[in-house]
Structure 1
Amino acid sequence: MDATPKQKWSLAAVSIPVMLWTLIPLFWIFSLAVKPQSIQADKKYFPREFSWENFQLITTGTASDLFNPALVNSIVVCLIATIISVVLATFCAYAIARLNFPGKKLILLVSLAVSFFPVISLVTPLFDLWRNIGLFDTIPGLVIPYLSLTLPLSIWVLSAFFQQIPWEMEQAAQVDGATSWQAFRKVIVPLAAPGVFTTALITFFTAWNDFVFAISLTSENARTVPAALAFFTGASQFEQPTGAISAAAVIVTIPVVILVLIFQKRIVAGLTSGAVKG
């Protein structure tokens, strides 16, 4: 049923203030990023001067040796962690949704509990273990801890999507001569594509925004952007690197915005999958 004009105006009255409240900090970060260093202390919301010097500083200037490798590390680590998590979670969620075996509910409960487990409590034992076995400051040394963040969340989310897929469709494919693997690959996975895309984006964002593991388990070689920002310095000990940090924040936000814009239809389809039965 279509919304009435009154309902649309009511929704707009609630949505617009929320959107403005969300966008104001983002615009403020962009304002700091385009302000020259000489007027960073200016408290005006809109900059009096517009400059790209902060972006040049972190991409080609003195901070590029710190920022550029960290950006590459973030992309590599997050993509690897996302791919592994989504692939493993797809098989696990399918088994949970389709098979009856002892401990099935326990797996989901443990996955949910691990998702809420405080990350900071894992850092110290991982730091000691990684130093002893040679995984400290390496790409695998970050991917493995990221799996502990992303895999339980992926399993929990994908399980709900697979449970909404009619079991009869897979049975019909098997009756037509398809093997279990062919039915899963050609019938179930395409139907679950919206949920897989949604889960992949959530997983990617979780890994992309991590700071605790990145700052604790890396030194220089595998440091990601959130950790690298903590090592930005000003031109002198009395100068804060506000502009450089803001410019870096703008740059690392761009991939997130691009992914959302490209896959927004699949995200909406995934988030609303199973909301209406029948």
Structure 2
Amino acid sequence: MTDLRGLAASESCNRDSGAPVQARQKRTWRSYSVYLGLALIFIYCLAPFYWMIVSSLRRTADIFDNTLLPAPFSLENYAKVFDGSTMFGQALLNSLIVAGVTTVAALVLGIFTAYAISRLNFRFKSVILGVIIATSMFPGISVVVPLLRFFTDLGWINTYQAMIIPNLSFAIPLAVWNLTTFMKQLPFDLEEAAMIDGCTKWQAFRKVLLPLAAPGVFTTAILTFIHSWNEFIIALSMINDPAIQTATVAISKFTGATEFQAPFGEQMAAGVIVTVPLVIMVLVFQRRIVEGLTAGAGK
């Protein structure tokens, strides 16, 4: 009888000890599947960028090689990009001007608009916000012809404002939406406490609310800058002067040694030059970006 009880107890212990092992195995396989999925996404997203870098480092004669690494390494494509014939350096400066001015203007207008929608009580707030968002839903190609006609009448063709103002039609709704959502999560008590201590409403906004909204403002600035930096359709349609064109347009107008030769190597090198600053900026400020996108959910 004692032996039977001992055997039953032993079998029970074995079953109990087997359960944690199975649970650990499930957790292990689940972790492996997550890592595998992340690796596939990583490869899928970065494979084109990797191939662009590799192709930019090949010689013109080796541009169609299928090797994973260029052999030999060559910087001739980068030298051709900046040899003066393409005006690519000026194009980079133009992109910086357009993206910078667009970002600053969108932030200034977006911050005040978001503050009014999130803090002040007036009728049709939801309707106004919906209209602002709806204006960003029109694809750029659908407004090119009307804008081209309008800017031609104004004499704005081949000017910076012909690129900046259309960019604001997307940047301002993005800024208003992000900042309104963020500011709605900030407590009213902080502003009230500041005004009780003697601050005016403007001082409470500038010294209390705006610093708290810095993660959202920073995130909005980065997203707006990236969109304006990469914009192509409007810049291509409004600018035909090489001295004013942006980097994305300049890349599309690269020409080869002959009429039928496509300068793939130079285009790849220019693409790397345009993309790398954005990648570095996102990597450096990724913590700020995540904070800005998730801060509202954590309050």
TM over 0.5: yes
The match for 1:135 among 156, 163, 178 is 156
- Match for residue 46 of structure 2? 23
Structure 1 residues 211 and 48, CA gap change in structure 2 (3 angstroms): same
Does structure 1 residue 14 correspond to structure 2 residue 37? Answer: yes
* Counterpart contact for 1:198–1:267, Cα < 8 Å: yes
Deviation of 1:116 (Å): 1.4
- Match for residue 252 of structure 2? 230
SS in 1 for 2:170: helix
Q: What count of residue pairs does the alignment treat as equivalent?
A: 272
The match for 2:124 among 80, 90, 103 is 103
Does structure 1 residue 92 correspond to structure 2 residue 116? Answer: no
Deviation of 1:276 (Å): 2.7
Deviation of 1:68 (Å): 1.4
SS in 2 for 1:47: coil
Partner Cα separation in structure 1 for residue 226 and residue 131 of structure 2: 22
SS in 1 for 2:121: coil
Deviation of 1:31 (Å): 0.9
**Residue type of the partner of 1:268?**
V
Does structure 1 residue 146 correspond to structure 2 residue 167? Answer: yes
**Residue type of the partner of 1:12?**
Y
The match for 2:294 among 264, 269, 272 is 272
Does structure 1 residue 170 correspond to structure 2 residue 187? Answer: no
- Match for residue 272 of structure 2? 250
- Match for residue 190 of structure 1? 211
Q: Point out the structure with max Rg over C-alpha.
A: 2
SS in 2 for 1:275: helix
Higher deviation after alignment, 79-88 or 115-124 = 115-124
| Deviation by residue 1:11-59 (Cα, 9 ceiling, x = unmatched) | 3222111011111111000011111111112233322221001011111
Q: TM-score, normalized by length of structure 1?
A: 0.93
Structure 1 residues 17 and 138, CA gap change in structure 2 (3 angstroms): same
Deviation of 1:112 (Å): 1.8
**Residue type of the partner of 1:182?**
Q
Partner Cα separation in structure 1 for residue 289 and residue 164 of structure 2: 25
SS in 2 for 1:273: helix
Q: TM-score, normalized by length of structure 2?
A: 0.87
- Match for residue 263 of structure 2? 241
Deviation of 1:134 (Å): 1.3
The equivalences for 1:47-62 within 5 A come to 47-62=70-85
The match for 1:45 among 45, 62, 68 is 68
SS in 2 for 1:274: helix
Partner Cα separation in structure 2 for residue 200 and residue 30 of structure 1: 27
| Deviation by residue 1:160-216 (Cα, 9 ceiling, x = unmatched) | 000110111111111111111110011101100000000001101111111110100
* Counterpart contact for 1:111–1:153, Cα < 8 Å: no
RMSD: 1.5
- Match for residue 13 of structure 2? none
Unaligned runs of 5+ in 2: 1-26
Does structure 1 residue 71 correspond to structure 2 residue 92? Answer: yes
Unaligned runs of 5+ in 1: none
| Deviation by residue 1:88-118 (Cα, 9 ceiling, x = unmatched) | 1011001100011122111211122122111
Deviation of 1:261 (Å): 2.5
- Match for residue 180 of structure 2? 159
Does structure 1 residue 262 correspond to structure 2 residue 284? Answer: yes
Deviation of 1:8 (Å): 4.8
Partner Cα separation in structure 2 for residue 258 and residue 245 of structure 1: 20
Percent of aligned positions that are identical: 43
Does structure 1 residue 117 correspond to structure 2 residue 162? Answer: no
Deviation of 1:61 (Å): 4.9
